[in-house]
Amino acid sequence: DAPAAGKVSTRYDLEKETELRFEVESGVSAEQVQMEVLTGMAEIFGSELNRNKKYTFGPGSKIAVFTWQGCSVNLYGKPEVAYVSKDTPMLLYLNTHCALEQMRKQAEEDNERGPRVMVVGPTDVGKSTVCRLLLSYAVRVGRRPTLVELDVGQSGVSVPGTVSALCIERPADVEEGFSVQAPLVYHFGSTSPGTNIKLYNKLTSCLADVFSQRCEVNRKASVGGCIINTCGWVKGSGYQALVHCASAFEVDVVLVLDHERLYNELKRDLPHFVKVVLLPKSGGVVERSKECRREARDEKIREYFYGFRGVSFFPFSFEVRFSEVRIYKIGAPSIPDSCLPLGMSQDDTQLKLVPVTPGRDLTYHMLSVSNADEGDNIVESPVCGFIVVTNVDTQTQVLKVLSPAPRPLPKHTLLIMDIRFMDMK
Ligand code: ADP
């Protein structure tokens, strides 16, 4: 534990089924806040807390300490806000978990597959938090559910601009979230599905295929089912992407957070055997500004290269000759239908690999290192890691890159992201 000495401490006594909500100031110079359970029992987003242990929350954290039975907790430091709320949807969320657990039991008995659940709603309604809660509750009763992360803006699993799947084997760590070991990650390349909706839907299908294959050979994974986190884009093509996802994963349950129209549309458009459930959002969910979201994305990339709190990584910087690698962008700029070559459709252009010759404008871009081998379909292959271009020398034809692993690169097919990272370390 980091020492709480010298910090102001404030005690809160919580009645049963209430939560203490607090926010830590954002910005690099902001002071951390610590929290300790003194008596009773409490949890944070589905993960149980140990008594008399100080948990530390960094800048920008927005936390709810919920108690089923009542408890008292101490906060050390100066949170931006802190208050107790009696009005939480936690009972409804718990009931949702119980219903899913019932479906898993039934699946076990009938030798069927467990529930596949899609969580949808606009941005900032607590989708990721509900996913985390349901996954942690499921592992706590011995299940092995899979998290499918389709939020390319704020991924809980990998860097922004990716979609991924992760088998959940233990509840989320209170401070750090789910332990990310061996996730399956695909390159999307930007933080909004709208930049290439064809690619987004294609990758959703890839994840669904891999998950279904795994379920065929792994009974626990099959019974555990999956919880799919989606983007907050719920109109037009964003809505179509949700319908596509529901069909690709053959979802059984859709949880709609705080959006009645979306709920009605999905009820109308999805097959009748899909249970569509409307759930309220928690009043504690805080709207994040664009700036706040951008910071969170940057932080996620920084973590990828430099580690998180207790664990520090030391990334490598080295040179890569242009001739050593093949760099592509996925998706050719769209052209009017009338100009397309005979027999080619817009779909083809969105999934097309466009070779890129490195220029100065590549500086600071993130690149995905594709796992594809010779002859593999690169677009549909997972990635094995990410690098950032820190310099391009067109004279000597050399790139300088930041990489989590030392030279040489494990593979030589690189995919460009729209996302840039300026290393301030
Ligand atoms: P979404 O996935 O819909 O964009 P999130 O689940 O990421 O939303 O929630 C947004 C923010 O609100 C997160 O920082 C999360 O920690 C916080 N949050 C969620 N539920 C609560 C709550 N009950 N009290 C306080 N903060 C919360």
* Ligand 1 pocket by Cβ (under 6 Å): 21, 62-64, 123-129, 232, 282, 284-286
Q: What are the tens digits of pLDDT across the range 346-377?
A: 667 899 999 999 999 999 999 999 999 999 99
What residue's CA is closest to ligand 1, atom 6? 126
- Ligand 1 centroid vs 378 CA: distance in angstroms? 35
- Give the distance (Å) from ligand 1 centre to CA of residue 28: 20
- Report the nearest-CA residue for atom 22 of ligand 1: 284
Q: Output the pLDDT for position 391.
A: 96
d(CA 287, ligand 1 centre) in Å:
8
Closest Cα to atom 5, ligand 1: which residue?
126
Give residue-wise pLDDT tens across range 88-110: 999 999 999 999 999 999 999 99
Please tell me the distance between residue 35's alpha carbon and the centre of ligand 1 in angstroms: 18
Residue nearest to atom 24 of ligand 1 (CA): 284
In angstroms, what is the span from residue 172 Cα to ligand 1's centroid? 15
Tens of each residue's pLDDT in the chain, 425 residues: 455 556 899 999 999 999 999 999 987 778 899 999 999 999 999 999 999 999 999 888 999 999 999 999 999 999 999 999 999 999 999 999 999 999 999 999 999 999 999 999 999 999 999 999 999 999 999 999 999 999 999 999 999 999 999 999 999 999 989 988 889 999 999 999 999 999 999 999 999 999 999 999 999 999 999 999 999 999 999 999 999 999 999 999 999 999 999 999 999 999 999 999 999 999 999 888 888 889 889 989 999 999 877 788 999 999 999 999 999 999 987 667 777 777 777 667 899 999 999 999 999 999 999 999 999 999 999 999 999 999 999 999 999 999 999 999 999 999 999 999 997 65
> How far away, in angstroms, is 124 Cα from ligand 1 center?
7
Q: Which residue is closest in CA terms to ligand 1's atom 8?
A: 126
Pairwise CA distance, residues 387 & 403, whole Å: 5
Residue identifier of the C-alpha nearest atom 15 of ligand 1: 62
How many angstroms is it from 57 CA to the middle of ligand 1?
14
Nearest CA to ligand 1 atom 18: 285
Distance 281 CA to ligand 1 centre (A): 9
* CA-proximal residue: ligand 1, atom 12 (nearest): 285
Tell which atom from ligand 1 comes closest to the C-alpha of 131.
6
Model pTM?
0.95
For the chain, what's the residue count? 425
